[in-house]
Amino acid sequence: MPRLAVGRRRVNRVATISVHTSPLDQPGTGDAGGMNVYIVEVAKRLAEMGIETEIFTRRTARDLPPTVELAPGVLVRHVTAGPYEELDKEDLSGQLCAFVSGVLRTEAAFEPGRYDVIHSHYWLSGQVGWLAKERWGVPLVHTMHTMAKVKNLLLAEGDRPEPTVRVLGEEQVVQVADRLVANTAAEAGELIELYGAPEERVTVVNPGVNLTTFRPGPKDAARARLGLPPGAHVLLFVGRIQPLKGPDTLLRAAARMLEEDPDLRRRLVVACVGGPSGNGRARPSHLVDLAAELGISDVVRLEPPVPHDELAGWYRAADVTVVPSHNESFGLVALESQACGTPVCAAAVGGLRTAVRDGVSGLLVEGHDPRDWARALRRLLDDHGLRAAMSRAAGEHAAAFGWSATAARLAEVYTGAMAELHRTPVVVNL
């Protein structure tokens, strides 16, 4: 019987598509978040492996240069598509034709075969990648990061459901992508069950953490730099301020804790590091107002987003990092915190079930009842032995998630997709 022999093709250059958010943006504000971190860290690690990456993103200011070298082997290309200002993601679908045109014109300026594979991030980018794949004859690898059908099943109070146009767009991308990269096995299951993705085209690749930036350090020194009392009980929230991320759950839990133990007020600090995003931009003062309504303004400290080296200091200064999201495809904040030796109290949803080892490196809480969260947080604050054990385990758990491993696994996904696309039957005499 004849069989197929498939040669392995090397990946030299990846076209990464990130329509709605730039890798140059500060994570924690606007639409910039874990996806930005993912794209930047993977691109840098791929470059270290000798694989160049060109990241196509939308130009949001007239004075932005056409290209920016993010790192050796990593180039950001600004594509003019729509007005020079930040647009809501819901408005970007109307700019996809212009974005596609810019991407195709860029490739046409070079010799054919400049890009070996396309990696698109989020459904809007997948739509662009779909057309580019057809024009260039290269495989499309797609990462959802979040999915409309999943979000609509887990909506926070006051949050809007994702529109039908996004659901349909995601279904189309699932149909045409050569490979679908899921952050966790749970996400892979959602792609297969909710979107009908062929199982053989879904691959699980865990995101990572920058273990050089996020590492344990002296708590007292970190607190001194941030103006936090050395003996305080510090609960930390990091992320975009929007209903999906659930910061209100933390504030309501803190209010519950103070109601049950008024003496705790002398030591409790609830720090929130991040900026309004998504639906949260409609109510930028929401957390300030909620803290006042709950009578806990004196213990709440709101801080703007900060660069990663400063963010690591916040993690080290905290006793517990709280991640009360209603949905997370993975939860990089949880991993970053654990890498700094700080245990996590997180919602038992999505990728957080993978990012946190329940009962070992932190606690997972079912639902969003403030009473349950108050109970879990008091357990971590009151039991110093438990917190110390979880701190040690947190660092060990996070150490298994390096970005180099993520990039290496993605390179395998790329070469596999390329080999399948270019497979030719070779008759081998047996």
Averages of pLDDT over runs of 10 residues in the chain (430 residues) are 44 95 73 83 97 94 92 96 72 84 96 96 96 96 94 81 93 97 94 97 96 96 96 95 93 98 97 77 79 97 93 98 92 96 96 95 97 98 96 96 95 95 48
Strands 67-71 and 74-79: antiparallel
31 is in an annotated binding site: yes
Nearest in space to 347 (alpha carbons), one of 329, 379, 189, 301: 329
Is 411 inside a domain boundary? yes
Is 144 inside a domain boundary? yes
In this structure, the answer to whether residues 193 and 223 fall within a common structural domain is no
In this structure, the answer to whether residues 250 and 317 fall within a common structural domain is yes
The answer for residues whose C-beta is within 8 angstroms of residue 208's C-beta and 6 or more apart is 41, 335, 401, 402, 403, 404, 405, 406
What is the structure's pLDDT at 92?
77
User: Residue 101 in contact with residue 95, Cβ under 8 Å?
Assistant: no
User: Residue 237 in contact with residue 273, Cβ under 8 Å?
Assistant: yes
Query: Which phi and psi angles does 112 have, rounded to 5°?
Result: -55, 145
Q: Provide the token pair at 159.
A: 């949050």
185 is in an annotated binding site: no
pTM above 0.95, yes or no: no
89 is in an annotated binding site: yes
Is 8 inside a domain boundary? no
Any idea what the CATH number is for the domain that residue 312 is in?
3.40.50.2000
In this structure, the answer to whether residues 195 and 285 fall within a common structural domain is no
In this structure, the answer to whether residues 146 and 242 fall within a common structural domain is no
146 is in an annotated binding site: yes
What is the structure's pLDDT at 429?
31
Angle between helices 247-260 and 370-382 (to 10 degrees): 70
233 is in an annotated binding site: no
Q: What is the DSSP string of 197-244?
A: --GGGEEE----B-TTTS----HHHHHHHHT--TT-EEEEEES-BSGG
Is 6 inside a domain boundary? no
Give the structural domain span for 342. Answer: 219-401
Is 2 inside a domain boundary? no
In this structure, the answer to whether residues 116 and 261 fall within a common structural domain is no
84 is in an annotated binding site: no
Is 299 inside a domain boundary? yes
331 is in an annotated binding site: no
In this structure, the answer to whether residues 344 and 291 fall within a common structural domain is yes
Would you tell me how many other CB atoms lie within 10 Å of the CB of residue 2?
10
In this structure, the answer to whether residues 194 and 80 fall within a common structural domain is yes
User: Residue 136 in contact with residue 13, Cβ under 8 Å?
Assistant: no
What is the structure's pLDDT at 424?
42
The alpha helices in 318-398, defined as continuous H runs, are 332-339, 352-355, 370-382, 384-398
32 is in an annotated binding site: yes
In this structure, the answer to whether residues 204 and 311 fall within a common structural domain is no
In this structure, the answer to whether residues 285 and 332 fall within a common structural domain is yes
26 is in an annotated binding site: yes
What is the structure's pLDDT at 428?
33
27 is in an annotated binding site: yes
36 is in an annotated binding site: yes
To which residue do tokens 């195709």 refer? Answer: 104
Residue 28, amino acid: G
328 is in an annotated binding site: yes
Q: Provide the token pair at 191.
A: 């792609």
Is 1 inside a domain boundary? no
| CA–CA dist 55, 229 (Å, integer) | 43
In this structure, the answer to whether residues 45 and 119 fall within a common structural domain is yes
What is the structure's pLDDT at 412?
96
Strands 233-238 and 179-182: unpaired
How many structural domains is the chain composed of? 2
Is 315 inside a domain boundary? yes
In this structure, the answer to whether residues 413 and 394 fall within a common structural domain is no
342 is in an annotated binding site: yes
48 is in an annotated binding site: no
What is the structure's pLDDT at 281?
55
Nearest in space to 317 (alpha carbons), one of 404, 397, 231, 241: 231
In this structure, the answer to whether residues 133 and 259 fall within a common structural domain is no
